[in-house]
Amino acid sequence: MIRKLVALFLLLICASAIGQTVNSTERQDRSNVYNESFVQCLNYLKNGEVKLPDSIYIESDYKLTNRLIPRIGKTRLIILPDSTLAKRVKKADKAVIVYRLFPLAYQNKKFNITIIPFGVRYDKELKELRYTNSGGYLIVFDFEKGYFKFNRIIYNGI
């Protein structure tokens, strides 16, 4: 009985350590699953013949966006904290497109990350930011031999 408890305890410790490593966003390169998600999302848009902008704005989330690479190809990734976002939107004549990154999730034996672009504008009457979106991107990964392997992108649009 004691051997079984010790074995179970050691198994839980090992599983816990592996889980923390897998979900890490510490590297600032393409081995970071969040960076790879943006790379794949931009490739998806480019292959759909969408003209990629020089810069894209990403809503700041210190747990997810602190290790994003600053550039993918010719496109700069600009992280906007809430205060900067509000200032930028108030100055703009039209809606500013801001991407929101969601945490790594596990569903149907696959890992996925959701990226949703929002059109953000300032409503002068209500004196608040207004967010609208027409869909998002689900970037799906397999997990093989300790690594995330890109599987596909699912666009959920209106």
Which whole number is the average pLDDT over 17-43? 70
What is the band of 145 on the pLDDT scale with cuts at 50, 70, 90?
A: confident
Which whole number is the average pLDDT over 36-55? 92
Is the confidence at residue 118, as pLDDT, over 70? Answer: yes
Which whole number is the average pLDDT over 51-70? 89
Which whole number is the average pLDDT over 145-155? 91
Q: Which residues contact 101 (CB under 8 A, 6 or more apart)?
A: 34, 37, 38, 58, 59, 61, 64, 65, 113, 114, 115
pTM above 0.85, yes or no: no
Distance CA 141, CA 110 (A): 6
Bridge partner residues of 150 (DSSP): 141
What is the band of 146 on the pLDDT scale with cuts at 50, 70, 90?
A: confident
CA distances from 12 to 40, 103, 109 (A): 33, 23, 20
pLDDT for position 3: 55
pLDDT for position 25: 53
pLDDT for position 63: 79
CA distances from 142 to 5, 7, 139 (A): 32, 29, 10
Rounded to the nearest integer, the mean pLDDT of the chain is 83
